[in-house]
Amino acid sequence: LKPFMAQGRIVGARTHLLFTTLLYAPDTMAAMAPIAPCVATVTGAMARPIAILPSEGRVLNVAGSKNGQRRLMAASILSVAAVASRTRGCAARGFAGRGAAMTRHCSASGASGTPTLHLGVVGYGLVGKELVSQVLRSAPGLFQEMGVKVEVVGVARSKSMVLLSSGGDTALAAGAWPGNEEPVDLEKLGQHVLAAANASGGRAMFVDNTASDEPAEFYAQWLAAGASVATPNKRAGSGPYARYEAILAAARSGGSRFLYEATVGAGLPIIAPLQTLLRAGDKVEAVEGIFSGTLSYIFNTWKPGMKFSDVVADAKAKGFTEPDPRDDLSGTDVARKVTILARELGLQLELGDVPVKSLVPASLQDWQPSAGANLGDSFVEELKAYDAEMDALITEAETAGEVLRFVGAVDPKTGTASVKLGRYAKDHPFAATQFADNIVAFDTTWYTPRPLVVQGPGAGAAVTAAGVHGNVVEVMTSLKSSTA
């Protein structure tokens, strides 16, 4: 601890808590060792501890003096300092067993001119267009703040793509599509983005906004070449475990970053707080949450006396459901998110290992509408035959003073995960959700007897793009630090 104490003073109860946290997080301690200048000075009265991290320009102000608040502060210090260690030391370090390969490299350390992040965007639908719009709007301000440029140099759709020269991304303003398109070729797109980064001495980054497996097959290749990858696409994190491991290994070997916060909660921070707790040495006992905005809306709206099929029809009319409502009611999307969180906790689960209690009646799972009929509308008509069965469930819950919620859960103790329709008391946090909220509760050693709860909008193009945009800014920040 001498290098830390030499750079600042650590006093009061936070000394013990920070030192204890370091002892319980040897990987983090090892990663922090070379970067004494990045370590926090912690001062302040017991009633109002303040953590100052001068090299990162961040101040964490935590009111109160309870152990949980002190530990949260210590966890935050460790998280920022660990990132700083990777930035200052430029070492390809990872945190074993934590799911994400949080590594980086120094490709821009000797660059001349302005450090630049070159983006390749795969998927140009609602989320892709919103992301590019956010990037273009924020680029001038971020350059003024950090001295780092960001530019989109390639965009791919399902059938076509455009490769742009430096400064050419203004052609994408307002969701426009440039005229110089060519057939989509993700191999060629990757080469173009990497070449742009090599030419400027900057860094490459790919963003996958699709729900397809095809781009995920390129993640390892891009990461190994030193490019970071950010995505809301759940296919890599919940797909074959062997591919998932290969992606993390490629990030470690390439000194790059695989960023996937938006896969679980869109713009809602779920993975990052979990990673922070794990790195700081907390032990997660259970994770449970409502991970579908569509199903959250349905169960927040549905009350005793209402027909379940009418609520599904309402959700469909308001655009919450997929064209085929079975894609939502089946629970598969929730199972993918639960699989991602389970792997974050070190469980080597496949998607097929997660049992799902589908809300689609067995007789309708393979059902098809008559020729020419609208699939969604026809399905809702068929669902009416099961209203009495669903009414019995909600009436029984109401009689017991409970509500119904469709939840996903991970149990690290048993190494299992599940997706089901559960009943919760009306004073439970899950009963207080509104509209289409997502919510997740982390039961941990530190957060007891009440769990750490994260709640808010978990769906929509704007918030999903915002979550990915946050990952872009993270990489820009590391680029700034590596060239400082």
**Residues forming beta bridges with residue 121, ordered by sequence position:** 155, 207
Sequential DSSP letters for 70-92 = HHHHHHHHHHHHHHHHHHHH---
Sequential DSSP letters for 227-255 = -EEE----HHHHS-HHHHHHHHHHHHHHT
What is the Cα–Cα distance from 343 to 100, expressed in whole angstroms? 9
Q: Where would I find the H helices in 115-171? A: 126-146
**Catalytic residue positions, numbered:** 337
Q: Where are the beta strands (DSSP E) in 202-348?
A: 203-208, 228-230, 258-259, 284-290
* 454, containing H or E segment: strand 452-457
- CA 302 to chain CA centroid, Å, is 29
What is the Cα–Cα distance from 42 to 73, expressed in whole angstroms? 10
Radius of gyration, alpha carbons of the chain = 24
β-bridge pairing 416-425 and 402-411: antiparallel
Handedness of CA 444, 239, 190, 226 (dihedral sign): positive
Of 302, 252, 208, 285, give the one whose Cα is nearest residue 447: 285
| Three-class SS state of 55 | coil
